[in-house]
Amino acid sequence: MTQQVPLLNLTGITKAFPGCVANDDIDLIIQPGEIHALLGENGAGKSTLVKIIYGILKADKGTIEWNGEQVSIDNPSIARQLGIAMVFQHFSLFDALTVVENIALGMENSVDLTELEKRILEISTNYGLPLDPKRHVYTLSVGERQRIEIIRCLLQSPRLLVMDEPTSVLTPQEVEKLFATLRRLSTEGVSILYISHKLDEIRVLCQTATILRLGKRVSDADPRKETARSLAAMMMGEELQSPARPPKVTHADKARLEVKDLSLEAIDDFGVDLKNVALHVNAGEILGIAGVAGNGQNELLDALSGERSCDSSNSITMDGNPCATLAPDARRRLGFGCVPEERLGHGAVPDMSLAENTYLTAYAQMNLTNNGMIQTTARDEFSDRIIKEYRVKCTGRQASAASLSGGNLQKFIVGREILQNPGVLVVSQPTWGVDAGAAAAIQEALIALAENGSAVLVISQDLDELMQISNRICAICAGVVSESIPTEQATVEQIGLLMGGATNQASVS
């Protein structure tokens, strides 16, 4: 194997940004036809390295050899010409245009659209990636959108296919299909650079792995020979702490949040209708709702938080109070708390200070308003309390929300809601895009809240996280929520099937 000329040979790649060294003297070798994993935590430098390979960034130091020859990849166009194709984590797709138009836009030269349609159908049937070229992208699910990106890459007959966190948007069954496609490509001689932090997947799929930590390459490994634990240890460089465990349920009979027969029409063609959603969360427990993005999570959250009003006020009750027609502030007064998926622009106002963002949801609850006037001292006190107790790294309460890192802002928002003592807390994607330290802190805070007697509902795409912290787990698919299963009895396959829409759903009338 070492006799071959490697397809891609990176030597001493270094790239620094103001304030941090993203890549520090990194070597990487990828052989033809190899499925190579790039492992590391959030912030380890994987994205930067890959952007250098694809020509979006230029390294400060180091050399790149392609097929034994030194090359300079100045922009994505050159990368594509060499035969490097990339499927990003965030797709570059145009909702209002059709599949074929989207793919045409990603190609170097002008192409005849009818010709292109034929080629798309060919590849899609060939590689098991069903796709209708004439459909508009906004009608497609996330998994289908990813297929567009993949087919766009395959049309250019790449030698190296780079995939950045591809499975965060797929159900377990869709992941299987993707792996089959990737293995097929590998046998055809295409190399795959697979970036992920999902250790079990990497052990199943990849032949070699390069592990990054804090910008440096720390080791190579053969994932097939390692355990998830040993890989994690290499990634994090320390003894694994015991994972978070779900709270002990003490009041299993007292339902604090009950949802019955909740139906809500989507606002427009881009949304998903909710159909007869039924669930309940008891005091002291965490219910997890698993699901791939775009299956009605936003609509469900809007219905629960009060941002959208329902027809029948009984569809949602909190501690027995019907509240489905109440506005968000009225629900907060009943003891409801909510952390939305989007931090900037939804959970917090980007250009306002943390103090003002504290006021955003606490203005009625914590005696911060008197006769319609803002009580600045009380507000500032509460703000400081959140910052202190949740260890939010910032320049103080006057720092703007936009200036905080993702993890710190999320800690602030979660802290703001929890410190208002909600009886029911609904959280959407609690640790998305958040560094490991902050993620752990947030998960602990949620568990502590539940153990204190509150009911916590967590909506998340991260199945591992839900399996770790929730007592019961269910899935949402196309606006329908399934029956819940106690987490200790649940398997990933089971939940995966439910996420994909298999019927096991509760349509309690």
> d(Cα 71, Cα 64) in Å, to the nearest integer?
6
Q: Binding residue for other proteins (CB under 8 A) from 21, 29, 56, 249?
A: 56
Can you tell me the distance from the alpha carbon of 432 to that of 184, in angstroms, rounded to the nearest whole number?
A: 31
- Looking at 73-81, 192-200, 248-256, 386-394, which segment touches other proteins (CB under 8 A)? 73-81
Residue 426's SS3 state is strand
Q: At what angle do helices 406-418 and 436-451 cross, to 10 degrees?
A: 10
Residue 74 is a binding residue for other proteins (CB under 8 A): yes
Residue type for position 56: I
Where helices occur in 132-198 by DSSP H, the ranges are 142-154, 172-187
Q: Does 390 engage in binding with other proteins (CB under 8 A)?
A: no
> Rounded to 5 degrees, what are φ and ψ at 61?
-140, 160
Nearer to other proteins, 122 or 342 (CB): 342
Q: Work out which of 187, 239, 372, 377 binds other proteins, going by CB under 8 A.
A: 372
CB–CB of 466/243 below 8 Å?
A: no
Q: Do the beta carbons of residue 28 and residue 212 sit within 8 Å?
A: no
For the CB of residue 354, give the shortest distance to other proteins in the complex, in Å: 13
Q: How far apart are CA 185 and CA 154, in angstroms?
A: 9
3-state DSSP of 93-139: CCCCCEHHHHHHHCCCCCCCHHHHHHHHHHHHHHCCCCCCCCCEHHH
Q: Which of residues 100-119 bind other proteins (CB under 8 A)?
A: 101, 104-106, 110
**What is the x/- site pattern for other proteins, positions 217-256, by CB under 8 A?**
----------------------------------------
Q: What share of the chain is helix, strand, coil (3-state, %, to 5)?
A: 35, 25, 40
- DSSP conformational letter for 505: B
- Residue nearer to other proteins on the CB measure, 29 or 56: 56
CA distances from 137 to 115, 154, 242, 243 (A): 19, 19, 42, 39
Q: Least distance (Å) from other proteins to the CB of residue 136?
A: 9
- Binding mask 295-324 toward other proteins (x if CB under 8 A, else -) reads ----------xxx-----------------
State yes or no: residue 135 binds other proteins (CB under 8 A): no
By the rule CB under 8 A, 268 interacts with other proteins: yes
Residue 430 binds other proteins (CB under 8 A): no
Interface with other proteins (CB under 8 A), residue from 4, 63, 70, 92: 92
> Does residue number 91 form part of the binding site for other proteins (CB under 8 A)?
yes
Among 342, 444, 488, 493, binds other proteins (CB under 8 A): 342
374 is a contact residue toward other proteins (CB under 8 A)? yes
Q: 244: burial class by Cβ within 10 Å (0-12, 13-18, 19+)?
A: middle
Q: Given the rule CB under 8 A, which of 206-214, 277-285, 317-325, 347-355 is the region that contacts other proteins?
A: 347-355
Which listed residue (24, 258, 285, 356) binds other proteins by CB under 8 A? 356
Nearer to other proteins, 93 or 234 (CB): 93
When asked if residue 142 is in the footprint of other proteins (CB under 8 A), the reply is: no
Q: Which among 373, 376, 401 is positioned nearest to 387, based on CA atoms?
A: 401
Helix/strand number for the chain, H first, E second: 16, 23
Residue 347 touches other proteins, criterion: CB under 8 A: yes
Residue 76 makes contact with other proteins by CB under 8 A? yes
Chain residues binding other proteins by CB under 8 A are 56-58, 74-77, 88, 91-97, 101, 104-106, 110, 138, 267-270, 305-307, 327-330, 332, 338, 340, 342, 344-352, 356, 359-361, 363, 369, 372-374, 399-400, 403
